[in-house]
Structure 1
Amino acid sequence: MDRAKPLPSLLVQRYHGWKATAFAENRAWYKRLADEGQRPKTMVISCCDSRVHVTGIFGADQGEFFIHRNIANLIPPYLPDGQQHGTSAALEYAVTALKVAHVVIMGHSGCGGVQGCLDMCSGRAPELEEKSSFVGRWMDLLRPGYDRIKDLDGYDAQRNALEREAVLVSLENLMTFPFVEERVASGDLSVHGLWHDIGNGTVEQYLPSSKVFEPI
């Protein structure tokens, strides 16, 4: 493959800085991680958005979180059709191999994927309707959420509600996986839905008893 390029110098410098400080100061911990393997208790499914930093929010060290990121923190329904399903594969590995105790779905404010879904479903983004759009076909997963919020008054209200619907749709789809449902039923696994406001740092959690998101 002759198209790969050397890393930008800024990233090289940052790597050497990390190796000389954070790694050097915690060499024994990294050696233990390498020798003993990973034993995370929590899987986090969050958005690819560069502003969402779940390990920073929860103060997690290496080895604590098994993290999967995708556009708009979506989980597809259980569909063993022989196709490639990166999110489903990550979920299967976390639940059946790593035996995580918690699966956390974390949405966030200002989500570009959610906005794309809103625009697509309301006819403002015809390019996402094209069969060739990977983003559009991925955001089809959120159409049930759009149907629940489409009658709200105002674009901003719809977008804010749809960001939370992305969490709810993912929770619903999560429970279609037999290995998830089995471990939830046995009490060995709990699932959680969160929404993070990037601008003010708040995190809300979904409470099934009241069917609302409330600050934690």
Structure 2
Amino acid sequence: MKLILLLVAAASFLPAYGEIAAAEVKVSEATQACIECHTLIHPGIVASWQKSRHAQMTPGEALAVKGLGLKVSSKEVPPALKETAVGCAECHTLRPEAHADTFEHNGFEIHIVVSPGDCRTCHAQEAEQYTRNIMSHAYRNLADNKVFNDLEHTILGGIERKGGKITLQPAHAATKAEACYYCHGTVLKVTGTETRNTEMAGELLFPTIAGWPNQGVGRVNLDGT
């Protein structure tokens, strides 16, 4: 019983999920609005972000780092992004006109999928280097290669027996996305919208994205990157 009371007492001193772990780093009003809801819906995601470098340093501070510790390779960062932590809004509201999945959400124009085109705002050198890396072309390297296509067809294709013969049918898109293209990347495409009934805000409209979620290195994003 004493141990339980001690644990409860200790827990009372821990920061709530809605609080920023690095309290000294300013958070934008837009990101704070995101956190207030999503800390209840996705507490794990918020907690993970709070422990990240993005939450604990502003781009302005990062630009001042010298030597191998420098993580921001862009020569300059937009003033609106310089003085606050890199939070939800800083990435998911960036360049809304470039993303096919941009939609209105709680008064903001946001997109679900953050792409290298967004990351290059602060990480220009890394984004440019990655475009020249063979891994950034991993989707096409698989999808446009006949030898790989035959291998993929053999491994993932559905087996059918017709007229005394066994044939291989093309693999279902979902099977491919969970197999080879899980790492190689999928082609994302907005196929429509869906209405979801949320506990906190009632009915909300969201884009439906084929090929998502996917973290493949050659994923073809909704802004073309």
TM-score by length of 1: 0.26
Q: Which has the larger Rg?
A: 2
Higher helix share: 1
